[in-house]
Structure 1
Amino acid sequence: MKKSKTSILKRVFLNLILCLGTLSQLQAQNQVIPLWNKIPGELKAADYKEKEEIKDGKVQSTSLVTTPTLSVFLPKEMKPNQTAVIIFPGGGYMHLAIDKEGTKIAEWFNSIGIAAFVLKYRLPNDKIMIDKTIGPLQDAQESIRIVRQNASKWNIDPNKIGVMGFSAGGHLASTLSTHYDDKVYETASKASARPDFSLLIYPVVSMQNEITHKGSQTNLLGDNPSQELIDSFSNEKKVTAQTPSTFLIHATDDEVVIPENSINYYLALKKNKVTAELHIYEKGGHGFGLGVNDTSKFWTKQCEEWLKNNGFKN
């Protein structure tokens, strides 16, 4: 039996609508937003060009970042007033593990109905920054302000915007959580740069010589930083009652960034009566991302439960 011309046209029209919807979703997922019109404290260096490490067509790692960006990942089912997380990949303030600790994490958040944004932040370097100690923090503050200002556009609750940081990205996330009011650049924005919660995954927190990750300390603060500078960026010393509630994980056998970083931050949060949860796993080492082996592989489930219990996930 031949289908009527009207029936065929209707089906073509419906398929077109579905395709446009899918295209719109893909465009949203692939949207990359430049962070600045004019980068604060920028220096120009002709020999400083971004380098990407690509495997199987995907950027695994990037370094020498000059133009910071925010990549948007929205869940397939867009709900009103959803939670959002801005992700800071790690890499010792030397490179960004943009796939393992960025894109893959954003996709996991989307799978549990949470909007995610991956920040490709500038890595501290005297060649491109007047003051390299605040370069990453400038990018982190601006990323929160951009998401908060565009909350209605992405169906995000402006009071449910958190940050997640891995390793040195955890230092940046804890720096933002304790230095969100620091005036590190001029802005006309009225939006707060304070995260509503923090998720710190095997984070560098301290710059104190006894427990810091030396590479992160040197890259951020220089070869011979003053004690005043070390104290300023030792975020366990900067916790107050206004510091955002925090979920932390670490592995006992992490010999790259020792678990005292998380433990001391947790104790500072507890002392200031800030809601906090800390998981120290027996095994996992450093840089386990989504948790591929040993006891650390369950952290995503525990993180999801923490988000639920604290009203950040339905």
Structure 2
Amino acid sequence: MKLLCYLTLAFLPFLAKAAEVDVYLLGGQSNMQGIGKLKNLPKEYHKAVKNTFIYRGQNIAPLVIGQTQTSHRKGEMGPEIGFALNIQSDKPVYLLKYAASGMPLNPGWNGNKWLGGKPGPKRTNFYPGLTPEDPNKGRLYRAMLDRFQKGIEAIKAEGHTPVIKGFVWMQGEQDSKNEVSANSYAKHLKLLRDRLAEDVKVSRLPMVYGQVLPHEPALERFTHRENIRSQMAAADMASGKPEAIRLAKMISTDGFTLLKDTVHYDANGQLKLGSEMAKAMNHLQGSGKQSNLWPDRVPGFPEDFEPQAHKQLDPGHITETSQPTITVYPAMGKPTGQALVIFPGGGYRVLADMKEGENVAAYYAARGITSFVVRYRVTKGSNEGFRFPGPLLDARQGIRIAKASAENYGFNPEKVGVIGFSAGGHLASMCATRFGDSFEGELNTDISVKPNFAALIYPVASMVAPSSHKGSRHALFGKDPQSEDLKAASPELLVKKDFPPVFIAQNQFDPVDAKLSFILAQAYTAAQVPCELHIFPGKDHGYGMGRPGQTEAQNPAIAWPELLHKFILKAQ
């Protein structure tokens, strides 16, 4: 008995060390390196940061501000200080840092020399390559990845289990010196984050990055300052732009204090930069979290049916979603007290879950509206479980889950609206017209599924009309549907007084017949239900919040996000 006690006591320190620790990867050029002077920080900051450690390529060291070297030169600091003081964690925090002053991301650069053309081997840049084996990976990316991997191994050697929580990036000044590298920055920033996530073997890597060159006028060498700052802003997940990167947040550095060179941040500017990066990272930890809609069996499928993970068709489309999910984006800034449940489109065969899901959620979350993305069941096959009312069951369950989480996320459960795109627009219209019906297999039926409002973006607005979208109709009802089923899925035949108000936006010459949106709006008018209809003089369909490089002159309908935002605020 005594021996057992002694063994237990002896192993307690080991067991404690084996606990998980939070790891953040920090990379970039000179403003990540940091040349702010520690002596200029107020004395109250010169202290040990509890349970926080830093690794810069040699040994892991406890972070003691003013004593632990965190930049290339003693007495200097980067954003790691403000980040460490503000990152939220109930576990030890490890910062793995790599920086290379004056260095580019774009593969056209070799150090400070522009070569252009296709990526080439052995160039000095942060280009991450297209695959793990890509011979054109930049020297600096290889060095940064090596630093991170060695840091992870050093943490393991101490007996801990490292959990990589996020990536902090501060770079771009060098890329602003060339039009090509400035105008393609968002694309390469996404590639960097995605490649790094794969190389360090994580499926989820939130990223925070700083916007460079806040000073106006910029020094002459930064010839494309406006271009790169615009690209950085577009890459923010909440930008509403097609360049938006999932789980990526930009920190605007306007007003941050600078050194006399007008490029680098002084100690207070670096402290502010790191603090804002940590606050954004704290929020990202709760964003994009996904869970199954149904805790057990998915209703509508046979009892012995085994749901499978979805099939990824390309980076923006999935199918075979027999295990429907819901993803949450909590409100940022000042919450409006509202929530939005989002249904991507894809003809009930696929889901455009990025441009019509995640990007939309991030956009409205940044405007104070907690947003949920529902990946409802779709298939390219003929399994009956995917047909009506299957997708509607998923949509209604998404509304219930959203309302049940209202207290946790700080919104009013009576102010939950729905939005859908194309076939998802049809699904949203079903939520707004058939909320009083009941279906077999539903859960939490004491929670109302009536939405506060519905937004239909280039919707499939009818199932019964001769010009209705045949692909969606066949996917939902088969090739020989019953007329009564089609009528029961045609919102223009279902609208009644006191139904939720609706917002509709579509191009006039959309291949999914826009005349049906007119007919639906007339049905709402006849029922005396508020309806805001926007018909734009264009012909595009399936553009989400806009295609890359698309302007309002090319597609006027991409004005809908701000119009809807105003509509939602009025719906309070």
TM-score, reference length from structure 2 = 0.50
1:62-95 deviation digits (Å, cap 9, x = unpaired): 100011111111233253x621111100000000
1:162-311 aligned within 5 A = 162-184=417-439, 185-255=441-511, 257-291=512-546, 292=550, 293-311=554-572
Question: Given the alignment of the two structures, is residue 133 of structure 1 paired with residue 388 of structure 2, yes or no?
Answer: yes
8 Å contact from structure 1 (residues 45, 127) kept in 2:
no
1:186 CA drift (Å)? 3.7
Q: Which has the larger radius of gyration?
A: 2
Q: Which amino acid in structure 1 is aligned with residue 473 of structure 2? A: Q
**Structure 1 residues 135 and 252, CA gap change in structure 2 (3 angstroms):** same
1:10-30 deviation digits (Å, cap 9, x = unpaired): 686974452115554222102
Aligned equivalents of 1:260, 1:5: Cα separation in 2: 66
1:99 CA drift (Å)? 0.7
**Structure 1 residues 224 and 277, CA gap change in structure 2 (3 angstroms):** same
**Structure 1 residues 287 and 15, CA gap change in structure 2 (3 angstroms):** closer
Question: Given the alignment of the two structures, is residue 33 of structure 1 paired with residue 291 of structure 2, yes or no?
Answer: yes
8 Å contact from structure 1 (residues 171, 203) kept in 2:
yes
Aligned equivalents of 2:292, 2:516: Cα separation in 1: 32
1:49 CA drift (Å)? 5.8
RMSD: 2.5
Q: Which residue of 1 aligns with 2:406?
A: 151
Aligned equivalents of 2:418, 2:495: Cα separation in 1: 16
**Structure 1 residues 34 and 78, CA gap change in structure 2 (3 angstroms):** farther
1:176-229 deviation digits (Å, cap 9, x = unpaired): 111112211343441100110001000002112412100000000111111111
**Among residues 395, 404, 415, which one is paired with 1:160 in the alignment?**
415
Aligned equivalents of 1:23, 1:200: Cα separation in 2: 32
Aligned equivalents of 2:488, 2:307: Cα separation in 1: 31
Aligned equivalents of 1:148, 1:121: Cα separation in 2: 18
**Among residues 74, 78, 86, which one is paired with 1:18 in the alignment?**
86
**Among residues 37, 41, 51, which one is paired with 2:311 in the alignment?**
51
Q: Which amino acid in structure 2 is aligned with residue 168 of structure 1? A: A
Gaps of 5+ in 1: none
8 Å contact from structure 1 (residues 254, 286) kept in 2:
yes
Aligned equivalents of 1:199, 1:289: Cα separation in 2: 13
Q: Which residue of 2 aligns with 1:69?
A: 325
Moved more, 132-141 or 26-35: 26-35
**Structure 1 residues 211 and 17, CA gap change in structure 2 (3 angstroms):** farther
Q: Which amino acid in structure 2 is aligned with residue 52 of structure 1? A: Q
- SS of the residue corresponding to residue 317 of structure 2 reads strand
Aligned equivalents of 1:140, 1:53: Cα separation in 2: 22
Aligned equivalents of 1:259, 1:167: Cα separation in 2: 11
8 Å contact from structure 2 (residues 332, 367) kept in 1:
no
Aligned equivalents of 1:219, 1:278: Cα separation in 2: 27
**Structure 1 residues 148 and 178, CA gap change in structure 2 (3 angstroms):** same
Q: Which amino acid in structure 2 is aligned with residue 27 of structure 1? A: Q
8 Å contact from structure 1 (residues 200, 246) kept in 2:
yes
Aligned equivalents of 1:9, 1:69: Cα separation in 2: 43
Question: Given the alignment of the two structures, is residue 88 of structure 1 paired with residue 343 of structure 2, yes or no?
Answer: yes
8 Å contact from structure 2 (residues 536, 556) kept in 1:
yes
**Structure 1 residues 186 and 304, CA gap change in structure 2 (3 angstroms):** closer
- SS of the residue corresponding to residue 191 of structure 1 reads coil
Aligned equivalents of 2:449, 2:382: Cα separation in 1: 25
Aligned equivalents of 1:188, 1:107: Cα separation in 2: 27
Aligned equivalents of 1:94, 1:221: Cα separation in 2: 12
**Structure 1 residues 267 and 209, CA gap change in structure 2 (3 angstroms):** closer
8 Å contact from structure 1 (residues 34, 68) kept in 2:
yes
Aligned equivalents of 2:442, 2:501: Cα separation in 1: 27
Aligned equivalents of 1:303, 1:175: Cα separation in 2: 19
Gaps of 5+ in 2: 1-38, 50-63, 66-80, 89-278
Question: Given the alignment of the two structures, is residue 42 of structure 1 paired with residue 298 of structure 2, yes or no?
Answer: no
Q: Which has the higher contact order (CA 8 A, sep 6+)?
A: 1
Aligned equivalents of 1:200, 1:188: Cα separation in 2: 26
- SS of the residue corresponding to residue 267 of structure 1 reads helix
**Structure 1 residues 50 and 190, CA gap change in structure 2 (3 angstroms):** same
Q: Which amino acid in structure 2 is aligned with residue 31 of structure 1? A: K
**Structure 1 residues 298 and 188, CA gap change in structure 2 (3 angstroms):** closer
**Structure 1 residues 115 and 49, CA gap change in structure 2 (3 angstroms):** closer
8 Å contact from structure 1 (residues 284, 295) kept in 2:
no
Aligned equivalents of 2:459, 2:292: Cα separation in 1: 26
**Structure 1 residues 196 and 4, CA gap change in structure 2 (3 angstroms):** closer
Q: Which amino acid in structure 2 is aligned with residue 37 of structure 1? A: P
Aligned equivalents of 1:6, 1:253: Cα separation in 2: 61
**Structure 1 residues 265 and 9, CA gap change in structure 2 (3 angstroms):** same
Q: Give aligned-pair identity as a percent.
A: 31
Aligned equivalents of 1:15, 1:8: Cα separation in 2: 14
TM-score, reference length from structure 1 = 0.88
